[in-house]
Structure 1
């Protein structure tokens, strides 16, 4: 088994990563919260008094609900669950590494199995050189997303909170907890953290000159007018690549958010499909969401790893001629 970091380094790694995600989530949540309040106030001013409210709809709200505010700092139900997930991972890491043994057993064996399996898996994709520098991020993001996805499926998440009775039953207005990745603020925060890491890794591996060359320089050997034409073509392609790179955080965040959000709404719809027996109807879909939680964690990790490999790969040297 590959040796794991010490107690302090493991805890510090998970805690720092969780702290960055939480701080970014809070900032984005604050901005969206302020904007949404402004929009709602403006809409309320233009609405006619005689308008009647539309029938209430069941389902997960599109944005996280603010359940508390600390010195003008909004605390949403998805943030609370993200803290629970982060603290749970820190506690488990501390418990598993509190008494390291040469022959691992129990929690230490399970943690080493996860870390070694992920390390070998990532090394086979992006290479041993790059994985030694970036593994801390890819392992953390995979474990965090997987834990958050599965913890969001625990009965009571999203169904316990404050609400009011309606003609269709009791409606939860403010769930105490909400699936972490069912909040676009959280997924976008993780994508922004990756984007910052991606820039750092790219400049460390190939430098500023290599970074620009990788985007805009023509590939292959050409001379004369063809070289000028290829330079123009690759410069235009590089501009399109820059646009694609800038949109990667958006695509990464909305892919994860959309799948998790749709899955939670699907489960709620199945529960309400057959009154009294909805829980039975939802069981197959529940196991499907367990699998989907694993798939989405893998997809996020693999996409970020491939994006990193594409920008950090060094130009291969031409093979030497074989003399016969």
Structure 2
């Protein structure tokens, strides 16, 4: 397992690679949005604008399928579109490239201890998917959980009642939801990249062609599919969790 540059290792460890990749993902999203919407053509959208409009419509349909009212749809739609786009880019970054360096001794100011150095065999990862980090995905899941309950607390009476209907097990479900929400995304992305690293590290023909090249291509295509699906799964579950606590719409069910 590779090591990562880390701040405050002995108090509150911060993975600098993950932080940098989160900012890079956000920057890519902003640039794509800016370029795609720079010259709006309302009558004949083309190219990147057309793709962004399709993605926005897809997010809108996803929100309408899970939210109880149109008011709730308008509330969640900006976040649903942003989350879908952000996770799509984040999940794909590690498939496009994984950058690592080989060091010959521990580097304390990078937060790489002798134990990390021995475990990673001197390999320090500088570029991968931010969603391959469990802290990042669980952080997103906790954010969704807090948002859902904040919206539910707009109707305190119904918010309290929903913990007892249909059973008290709803309390346990509230605890497990953010865990499974974040762990599902992390597990799929991390496993895909880990196996890809193993395949790429296989013995090489002529010194540069991995013997596992056909299997690597197949796994890369499969991982690309899984990365796309996981962006959708996380986003639609976010809409579902928030929709379940948008109590103003329950009278319509």
TM-score range, shorter chain: 0.7 to 0.9
Q: Deviations over 1:99-129 (max 9, x none)?
A: 3222222222221121112212331333552
Instruction: State how far apart, in whole Å, the 1-side matches of 2:27 and 2:193 are.
Output: 23
Q: Determine if contact 2:6/2:13 at 8 Å carries over to the other structure.
A: no
Greater RCO (Cα-Cα under 8 Å, separation 6 or more): 2
Residue aligned with 1:298, SS: helix
* 2:188 paired residue number: 259
* 1:132 paired residue number: 74
Instruction: State how far apart, in whole Å, the 2-side matches of 1:107 and 1:315 are.
Output: 38
Farther off after superposition, 287-296 or 133-142? 133-142
Q: Deviations over 1:6-29 (max 9, x none)?
A: xxxxxxxxxxxxxxxxxxxxxxxx
Instruction: State how far apart, in whole Å, the 2-side matches of 1:286 and 1:171 are.
Output: 25
* 1:181 paired residue number: 131
Q: Deviations over 1:250-305 (max 9, x none)?
A: 21111111111111111122223453323343110000000010111111112222
Instruction: State how far apart, in whole Å, the 2-side matches of 1:184 and 1:317 are.
Output: 38
Measured on the aligned residues, the alpha-carbon RMSD in Å equals 2.7
Q: Measure how far apart 1:243 and its partner are.
A: 2.3
Q: Measure how far apart 1:178 and its partner are.
A: 2.5
Unaligned runs of 5+ in 2: 106-119, 206-210
* 2:241 paired residue number: 307
Matched, 1:115 2:56: yes
Q: Determine if contact 1:272/1:278 at 8 Å carries over to the other structure.
A: no
Q: Deviations over 1:134-177 (max 9, x none)?
A: 1122221111111111111113x2x4323359xxxx95521111
Highest Rg: 1 or 2? 1
Instruction: State how far apart, in whole Å, the 2-side matches of 1:86 and 1:153 are.
Output: 17
Matched, 1:191 2:132: no
* 1:65 paired residue number: 4
* 2:159 paired residue number: 211
Q: Determine if contact 1:187/1:253 at 8 Å carries over to the other structure.
A: yes
- Seen in structure 2, the aligned counterparts of structure 1 residues 172 and 150 have a Cα distance that, compared at 3 Å, is farther
Match 1:106 to one of 37, 41, 47 = 47
Instruction: State how far apart, in whole Å, the 1-side matches of 2:125 and 2:18 are.
Output: 9
Unaligned runs of 5+ in 1: 1-59, 218-233, 319-324
- Seen in structure 2, the aligned counterparts of structure 1 residues 252 and 113 have a Cα distance that, compared at 3 Å, is same
Instruction: State how far apart, in whole Å, the 2-side matches of 1:88 and 1:107 are.
Output: 14
Matched, 1:284 2:218: yes
